[in-house]
Structure 1
Amino acid sequence: MDAEKSRAADWFNTLRDTIVAAFEAAEDTTASDRPPGRFEVTPTRRGADGGGGRMSVMRGGRLFEKVGVNVSAVHGTLSEGAARAMASRGVPGVTEDPRFWASGVSLVAHMQNPHCPAVHMNTRMFWTPGAWWFGGGADLNPCIEYDQDTAQFHDTLRGACDDHDPTYYPRFKAWADEYFFIPHRGRARGVGGIFFDDLNTGDWEADFAFTQAVGRAFLPAFLPLTDRRRDTAFTEADRETQLVHRGLYAEYNLVYDRGTKFGLESGHDANAVLMSLPPLAKWV
């Protein structure tokens, strides 16, 4: 499995580099009086010998108000709580031998223009001595919703899924609708997308290929929406709507998000884990 781990980690780094380059290119082509944004890259570590990665954050750009693209490969021993949580999901042997390895890329983008939707995407591989699996997905979080944008985003993700298994899109869309729901608000945090976890069909190559397809689908699913909306005029009321919606996003990530909980429980760099939080938000 060491070779497979290496291939997965290399792919996540490649995907990270591709997205960072595309986002900086989008900054260059966005009309604005401010200079184009650039990513600041900070090494991250999980403890003294638990691996690490790169946290890449752009703030105050032309298109992006804040966007983070993180990549990591970490290893160590699961906390007792994390091991129990995985055992409850059917991961075999994890409470008896809680060693783990995980690698992935995760991004969240909060936009300058309220007409441009915020977005989240991640792909990852996880290994324990008793099992391996892939997970990931992408979901769109507009504060001002456009049916055209929602349909285009979903259609692109559907195409990536259908190329591998026609059951994936309906299954993983439904999973996203359930996963990104905020119970205490009684609503979803956005307009959904796809979400999958614990993907192990027994064919590592096929599952890795699907995870790569999800990563490759992200830019064509998202960037055309920003091209369509980034020059749309907006009002102070639109900005207020955006900030309140960001409060909803922050609530979800701090209370419910599985990745946030795991990152903090496993001792990963807290700044990298909380990169997803918006730069500004409001609550009514």
Structure 2
Amino acid sequence: MTDSFETEKTRASAWFRQLRDDITAAFEALEDSHSEGPFSDRAPGRFEVSKTTRHADDGADAGGGLMSVMRGGRVFEKVGVNVSTVYGALGPAAQKAMAARGVPGMEDDPSFWASGISLVAHMQNPHVPAVHMNTRMFWTPHAWWFGGGSDLNPCIEYAEDTAHFHATQKAHLDPHGDALYPELKAWADEYFFVPHRGRARGVGGIFMDDRNSGDWEADFALTQDIGRAFLPAYLPLVERRRVQAFTDADKDAQLVHRGLYAEYNLVYDRGTKFGLATGHDANAVLMSLPPVAKWT
């Protein structure tokens, strides 16, 4: 499997990088076009790009990626779009976690390769929903799989925004089978639930993990369409809400909701746990945290 999957790994890594480039360009264009409404008197935001690195326990190079973060823009208060390709051997904790998830052979050979994109946007205007998206490929000598999805996290909910976000994702998933969207929507509802608060993190979206149908090309195509759905699902919501006036109470609701978001990412999110457990750049892993939050 090692030799036969080099081409597939290269293709997946290149796709995640291209998706990152498309999204960062679209987000900077939003900053440029925001000429009226709250925060329009500011200079348009731009991404600051830095390299991230992962080192093995012995200090050897083990991959890395790009961390792109925009702060204090007209539309985005903080948004990060990260890509990475990392490899090496899983440590004991991550190895145990993978074995518990049913990955075969981890006890004998903990080698792995992983590549993906991760995005979290926290917005200036509380009427504009926060959003999360990621897609990834994970490989070991014994198995491979894809994962990811996107979900919407408004502090002020609008039924038409939720409907558009879900309908766009459904349209991108339906070519892969009519049963897929309901399955991944239900999975997102379960995954993005905050048990200690007894509520969902947001209004849902789609989510999958450990996707291995036995057909790599089909699973890669599905993963690409999850990524392609993101901009048409989200950009119209930003364009619709960014010009709305808001009150101090609206901003307070946004900060409280961000506290919920932070709790979920630090306590439950698999990606956060995996990134920290495998020695990836901590700043990149914790990029998802909001710039300001509040707890009542």
TM-score exceeds 0.5: yes
Paired with 1:199 and 1:175, the residues of 2 have a C-alpha distance of 12
Q: Is the 8 A contact 1:36 1:62 kept in 2?
A: yes
* Map of 1:56 onto structure 2: 68
Paired with 1:194 and 1:41, the residues of 2 have a C-alpha distance of 28
Q: Give 1:99's match in structure 2, choosing from 111, 122, 126.
A: 111
* Map of 1:108 onto structure 2: 120
Identity of aligned residues (%): 74
TM-score, normalising length from structure 1?
0.99
Q: Is the 8 A contact 1:92 1:131 kept in 2?
A: yes
* Aligned-residue offset at 1:89: 1.4
- Secondary structure at the residue paired with 1:46? strand
Q: Does 1:27 align with 2:35?
A: no
Where structure 2 has 5 or more consecutive residues not aligned to the other structure, the ranges are none
Q: Specify the code of the residue in structure 2 equivalent to 1:77.
A: A
Alignment of 1:34-183 (within 5 A): 34-47=42-55, 48-183=60-195
Alignment of 1:200-215 (within 5 A): 200-215=212-227
Alignment of 1:214-233 (within 5 A): 214-233=226-245
* Map of 2:266 onto structure 1: 254
Paired with 1:219 and 1:94, the residues of 2 have a C-alpha distance of 37
- Secondary structure at the residue paired with 2:234? helix
Comparing 94-103 with 143-152, greater Cα deviation is found at: 94-103
* Map of 2:256 onto structure 1: 244
* Map of 2:206 onto structure 1: 194
Superposed CA RMSD: 0.6
User: Which whole-Å deviations, capped at 9, do the CAs of 1:139-161 have from their partners, x for residues lacking one?
Assistant: 00000000000000000111111
Deviating above 3 A after TM superposition, structure 1's stretches of 4 or more consecutive aligned residues are: none
* Aligned-residue offset at 1:83: 1.4
Paired with 2:44 and 2:252, the residues of 1 have a C-alpha distance of 24
- Secondary structure at the residue paired with 1:278? coil
Where structure 1 has 5 or more consecutive residues not aligned to the other structure, the ranges are none
Paired with 1:160 and 1:243, the residues of 2 have a C-alpha distance of 32
- Secondary structure at the residue paired with 1:67? strand
TM-score, normalising length from structure 2?
0.95
User: Which whole-Å deviations, capped at 9, do the CAs of 1:250-271 have from their partners, x for residues lacking one?
Assistant: 0000000000000000000000
How many correspondences in the alignment? 284
* Aligned-residue offset at 1:61: 0.3
Q: Specify the code of the residue in structure 2 equivalent to 1:233.
A: A
Q: Specify the code of the residue in structure 1 equivalent to 2:13.
A: A
